[in-house]
Amino acid sequence: MYTHSEACRTHYYKLELDRSEMKDQHNCKSFLPVDTAHVVSTDVIKCSSMGDGCGISIMRVITDSDIDIPEATVSMNGGECQIDKVSSNNYLATITNHSCRLCGLVSRCKCFLMSAINKGDKVEWTVLGQDSSCVRELVSELRNKGYTVNLLAGGKYNEDMTLTSKEEKYLRIAFDQGYYDVPRRTDLDTLCERIGCSKSTLNVSLRNAERKIIRNYEISKTG
């Protein structure tokens, strides 16, 4: 979580990179245990660096109706992939990539890759930096390494985009208890008893958290 002072100077930028210039690397999609011919779409929801050249990402995967990916962890040369089925033809893949030079570069520039949306030969990144100069440095380093990078949007990442400690706590409990499952495994009254708060307080906290998460998702989609 960011403190108030950190949030006031943190910036987000939406960048467009040419995917055709990444073919010499292990990309996250190559770790999926499924023939790419059966993959309808992939979106990287979150991605972060775990060290020099090593990254971990969470990817949303939509397949066609002819394939079912078993829930399992699959190891392969250069990384591993854990598959969790969300619904029919809808999966979450947690991918550890031990050969991601881009992830190491993002980390060295003190930035965070919040999302990466595939659009054909292009990929749209939403990047956070502790200030605007960090993101400018990242763009400069990417261009120096031969990547074509276009700046699509940007601005100050403020506290209205950041979950408070209470919102994060309540949202995590609600998620773990099955409030967001389909069908739901719990309701607000049961959650209130578990947390020890009023129904109105819990309802407002969850709605605020949901609004912030949706807003952040829309940043990655529309800028």
Give me the DSSP letters along 7-64. Answer: HHH-EEEEEEEEGGGGTTS--GGGG-SS-GGGEEEEEEEEEEEEETTEEEEEEEEEE-
One-letter amino acid for residue 196 of the chain: G
Answer whether residue 34 is part of any domain: yes
The Cα-based distances of 58 to 3, 20, 45, 70, 78 in angstroms read 25, 22, 6, 17, 17
d(CA 171, CA 108): 31
Q: Is residue 4 part of a domain?
A: no
Q: Collapse the DSSP code of 112 into the 3-class scheme (helix H, G, I; strand E, B; otherwise coil) and give the result.
A: strand
Rounded Cα distance between 213 and 165, Å, is 14
Confidence at residue 5, expressed as pLDDT on a 0 to 100 scale: 42
Q: Which of 157, 177, 197 is the last residue of a domain?
A: 157
Helix (H, G, I), strand (E, B) or coil at 168: helix
Domain shared by 104 and 206, yes or no: no
Q: What is the pLDDT of residues 171-209, one digit of tens each?
A: 889 988 999 888 889 999 999 999 999 999 999 999 988
146 with 194, same domain: the answer is no
Please classify residue 39 by burial: count the beta carbons closer than 10 Å to its beta carbon, then call 0-12 exposed, 13-18 middle and 19+ buried: middle
Is pTM beyond 0.85? Reply is no
In terms of domains, do 137 and 179 share one?
Answer: no
- The verdict on residue 195 lying in a domain is yes
Residue 84 lies in a domain: yes
As given in the structure block, the two tokens for residue 196 are: 């020890």
Q: Do residue 130 and residue 189 come from a single domain? A: no
Looking at per-residue pLDDT, the higher value among 21 and 209 belongs to: 209
Q: How many domains, the chain?
A: 2
Query: Is residue 55 situated within a structural domain?
Result: yes
CA gap 210, 87 in Å, rounded: 21
- Kindly state the percentage of the chain with pLDDT values over 90: 18
If asked whether residues 39 and 118 sit together in one domain, one would say: yes
Say how far residue 15 (Cα) sits from the centre of its chain: 15
- 3-state helix vs strand vs coil in the chain, percent to 5: 40, 35, 25
Q: Are both 99 and 58 inside the same structural domain? A: yes
Same domain assignment for residues 169 and 65: no
Please tell me whether residues 171 and 130 are part of one structural domain.
no
**Residue 107 to residue 141: CA distance in whole angstroms:** 12
Give the pLDDT confidence of 109-149 residue by residue, as tens digits.
888 877 777 676 788 888 888 778 888 899 999 888 888 89
Name, in order, each residue with C-beta under 8 angstroms of 164's C-beta and a sequence gap of 6 or more.
none
End position of a domain, from candidates 137, 157, 177: 157
Answer yes or no: is 5 within a domain. Answer: no
Is residue 1 included in any domain, yes or no?
Answer: no
Are both 188 and 87 inside the same structural domain? no
Query: Does residue 102 fall inside a structural domain?
Result: yes
Look at residue 52 in the predicted model and tell me its pLDDT: 63
Q: Do 183 and 133 have their domain in common?
A: no
Tokens of 92: 């979450």
Q: Are residues 73 and 31 both part of a single domain?
A: yes
Look at residues 157, 174, 197 and tell me which one is the last residue of a structural domain. 157
109 and 207, same domain (yes or no): no
Rounded CA-CA distance 209/71 in Å is 29
- Residue 185 belongs to what domain range? 163-222
Please state, in angstroms and rounded to a whole number, the distance separating the CA atoms of residues 213 and 218: 9
